Amino acid sequence: MQIPVQGFMYPNEVELQWSVLIVLYPFITGLVAGAFILASLERVFRVDAVKPTYRLALLTALSFLLVAPLPLQLHLGHPERSFEMYLTPHRSSAMAMFGFVYLWYLMAVLLVEIWLDYRREIVLKSESAKGLARLFYRVLTLGSSNISERSLQIDERVGYFITLIGIPSAFLLHGYVGFIFGSVKANPWWSSPLMPVVFIFSAMVSGIAAVMLLYMLTTRLRKRTIDMRCVDTIAQYLLYTFVIDFSLEMLDLLQRIYEADESFRSLDFMVHTRLWTSQVIIQILLGTVAPIALLGLTQIVTLTETLRKRVYAVAGCLTVLGIFAMRWNVVIGGQLFSKSFLGYTTYKMGFATREGLLPAIVLMILPFAILWVLIKILPPWSNDEPLPAGGTTAR
Amino acid sequence: MEITRRHLLLLLPAAAVGWKYVLAGTPEASPNYRLTEHWWAMLIDIPKCIGCGSCVRACAQENDVPEGYYRTWIERYHVADWKVERPDVESPEGGIHGFPANEESGGKNFFVPKLCNHCADSPCTQVCPVGATFVTPDGVVLVDKTYCLGCRYCVQACPYGCRFINPKTNTAEKCTLCYHRITKGLTTACCEVCPTGARQLADLKNPDDPIHSFLKTHSVQVLKPHMATGAKVFYNGMDGSVR
């Protein structure tokens, strides 16, 4: 397949090395980290208003975290050798720590926190359920069936401690992903000390927006009333985080424009041509400025409940789209220009190929399927929530 | 201390892990060759290069380089008058078939052969998550293809565009400085065939190597010195426009 090239590329640079699957990886881990941070708002910072989303956020984080290594595995030339990263990690490599950071977050933070939070329900179900379900929940108790008040208090305290560890761990998980890119000195599009910080804030933005959307959607599907105090608070936090994220990105941009180093002319041309739609239109205008304006509007003008819900839904969708575009522009954009700064290549995405669009779509659907199963096993809500007044469906 | 079955069960996996660590990055053995007595480099004399492409062909043949990928290649520069920052560069098929007649007029034209710089502080070695890429004690950057994951991080980290993924092995590949030849007292395939002597293998630890007198009497440069990679491919007569 002939890849269109403009100007001069080093001959080995023409083919892109990291595909759409590597775009998914930071996008997915960002959602994990952001969802967890939202959950910790309730647990650590005692923001009671967001409580209805606490468990949903944890389950969302787990669903996405379980899928996070899959795009990497699919991408590797030798996936069967990936365990070597555990056996003989190369200490100077930023990437070598992936397995450990991932396992730490999965095993030491998310699973423990979810288990502690659900332990009471798991024990009760292991006693009330029948047949295979009973056996299943008994296994989930891990042999710990004591749900005395004292025992639950200990769960609460340990859970608090785990969340406390979880916050820096979430930062570590996604800041680390940013560092993988930010530390590549050969690539001026990536090489920036701000990259890990921008990744952390963009992760929070995408995770908060995703959980807000999921909460609104699941509540609607369950025909329950959306807790407006909850979504108003989440929207507020989303706005604040987004403003910080946008400021950091603009700071990075301004610095690049003002410094105008040897790579600037090449990168500037790329933004004005190949990345114009994905970066300027989708990421900045649609995915950042528009949601910030919409969320800001709800803070200035008093809108009706129905209107606010719609604004949040639109802003949330645009936010997630914008963050995806940001990941795309970082990963794909960083490979479109030559390290000689004299030319540009093109990204040709296949469809039903190993690293094509189809596996990418499947990988993006998979976390939602896992979330659905998790919700069935460990329902994040109780059924005594209020029904909407004067109707059967939430609007 | 008596080793019980329990001890053995604990020790064996640990020993297996340790052994893998020892094996990782062991360079190809060559009898009578002492690694610590050499520190390999290359000298490229730009004014001597005629862009014939012999080196690219020899490299491809010697190392079974897949078509469309290059362990070494040649670039032709055309710098119009004062436009040092915007040279016209081309490298059709890596220069493997040489170059067509130049249609550009005015300014200056020259050829620049490129290959892995075998950096002493190589970014590709730094980023490899499993240590499949390593610097040998005699200063050559190699890839253990039985160990490489094919994650492509090293390809991204190389500032010079010298690495690629071999579609047959799905592992990272690059110039080995013909390690299988130089450890047997031969020169590299590209140096061997260069009709003008524009490429010369150099052993910086050998006091009798002509490189030393050359470096004393010529102004040489490495590619992208600001990258601070400790590049060991030295270019004589390199124009400021070369990237």
DSSP secondary structure letters along A237-260: HHHHHHHHHHHHHHHHHHHHHHH-
Interface test with chain A among B56, B85, B133, B156, by most A beta carbons within 10 Å:
B156
The CA distance from B77 to A249, in Å, is: 37
Q: Which residues of B touch A84 (CB under 8 A)?
A: 20, 130, 147, 149
Distance in angstroms (rounded) separating the CA atoms of residues A310 and A306: 6
**Alpha-helical runs (H) found in chain A:** 20-43, 54-67, 69-75, 84-87, 98-103, 111-128, 131-140, 149-182, 195-221, 228-259, 264-272, 290-300, 305-331, 333-336, 357-377
A180/chain B closest Cα distance in angstroms: 9
Closest CB from B20, B156, B169 relative to A184: B156
Nearest CA in chain B to A343: B89
**Residue B83's pLDDT band (cuts 50, 70, 90):** confident
Does residue A394 have a pLDDT over 70? no
Q: How many CB pairs under 8 A join A and B?
A: 129
Chain B hits for A266, CB-CB cut-off 8 Å, are none
Q: Which residues of A touch B94 (CB under 8 A)?
A: 11
> Which residue do the tokens 């130049």 mark?
B102
**d(CA B197, nearest CA chain A) in Å:** 24
pLDDT above 70 (res B27): no
Residue B20 pLDDT exceeds 80? no
- Beta carbons of A18 and B156 less than 8 Å apart: yes
What does the pLDDT look like over B91-121, one tens digit per residue?
Answer: 999 999 999 998 777 889 999 999 999 999 9
> Which of B126, B150, B153 lies nearest to residue A78, judging by beta carbons?
B150
pLDDT at residue B81 in the model: 84
- pLDDT tens-digit profile of B28-41? 667 789 999 999 99
ipTM: 0.93
Contact B17 A89 (CB under 8 A): no
Residue A391 pLDDT greater than 70, yes or no: no
Determine, for residues B91 and A95 on separate chains, whether the beta-carbon distance falls below 8 Å.
no
Where is B200: in which H helix or E strand? strand B199-203
Q: Is B83 on the interface with A (CB under 8 A)?
A: no
* pLDDT computed for residue A98 by the predictor: 86
All domains in chain B, ordered by first residue: 35-117+187-236 (3.30.70.20), 123-172 (3.30.70.20)
Residue A393: the pLDDT is: 43
Q: Which chain A residues are within 8 Å of B90, Cβ to Cβ?
A: 8
Residue B63, number of CB atoms within 10 A of its CB: 19
Whether A231 has a pLDDT exceeding 60, the answer reads yes
Report whether pLDDT(B56) > 50: yes
* For range A34-60, the mean pLDDT: 93
Residue B167: CA count within 13 A, CB half-sphere = 7
Closest among A248, A238, A236, A234 to A197, alpha carbons compared = A248
Q: Among partner residues B93, B123, B129, which is closest to A95 by beta-carbon distance? A: B129
**Chain B nearest C-alpha distance from A64 (Å):** 21
In degrees rounded to 5, what are phi and psi of residue A155? Answer: -55, -45
Residues 102-121 of B with CB under 8 A from A: 114
Nearest CA in chain A to B23: A88
Cβ within 8 Å, pair B129-A98: yes
A178 pLDDT more than 60? yes
Cβ of B123 and A76 within 8 Å? no
CB A340 within 8 A of CB A9: yes
Phi then psi for residue A11, to 5 deg, are: -55, -30
Q: Measured between CA atoms, how close is A165 to chain B, in angstroms? A: 26
A147-156 CB contacts, 8 Å cutoff, 24+ apart: A147/A119, A147/A120, A147/A123, A152/A119, A152/A120, A155/A116, A155/A117, A155/A119, A155/A120
Residue A195 has pLDDT above 80, yes or no: yes
What confidence tier does A382 reach under pLDDT thresholds 50, 70, 90? confident
Q: Compare CB distances from A81 to B69, B128, B149 and report the shortest one's residue.
A: B149
Distance from the A338 Cα atom to the nearest Cα atom in chain B, whole angstroms: 9
Burial class (CB in 10 A: 0-12, 13-18, 19+), B34: exposed
What tens digit of pLDDT does each residue of A139-163 get? 999 999 999 999 999 999 999 999 9
pLDDT at B28: 61
pLDDT digits (tens, 9 = 90+) for A52-67: 999 999 999 999 999 9
- Asked if the Cβ–Cβ distance from B159 to A84 is below 8 Å, we say no
Q: A36-45, A211-220, A246-255, A265-274: lowest mean pLDDT where? A: A36-45
Closest Cα in chain B to A189: B156
Q: What is the pLDDT of residues B122-131, one digit of tens each?
A: 999 999 999 9
Structure tokens at A224: 């329950």
CB atoms within 10 A of CB B181: 18
pLDDT in tens, A66-96: 999 999 999 999 999 999 999 999 999 999 9
Within 8 A by CB and 6+ apart from A196, the residues are: A175, A176, A178, A179, A182
Per-residue pLDDT tens for A100-123?
A: 999 998 888 999 999 999 999 999
pLDDT of residue B25: 63
pLDDT range class, residue A392, cuts 50, 70, 90: very low
Q: Do B159 and A339 touch (CB under 8 A)?
A: yes
Determine, for residues B73 and A184 on separate chains, whether the beta-carbon distance falls below 8 Å.
no
Cβ(B122)–Cβ(B90) below 8 Å: no
The set of residues, in sequence order, having a beta carbon less than 8 Å from that of B68 and lying 6+ positions away, is none
Residue B2 in this model has a pLDDT that exceeds 60 = yes
User: For an interface test with A, which of B130, B169, B174, B175 has the most A Cβ atoms less than 10 Å from its Cβ?
Assistant: B130
Looking at per-residue confidence, does B228 or B23 come out higher? B228
Residues of chain A contacting residue B159, judged by C-beta atoms under 8 Å apart: 185-186, 339
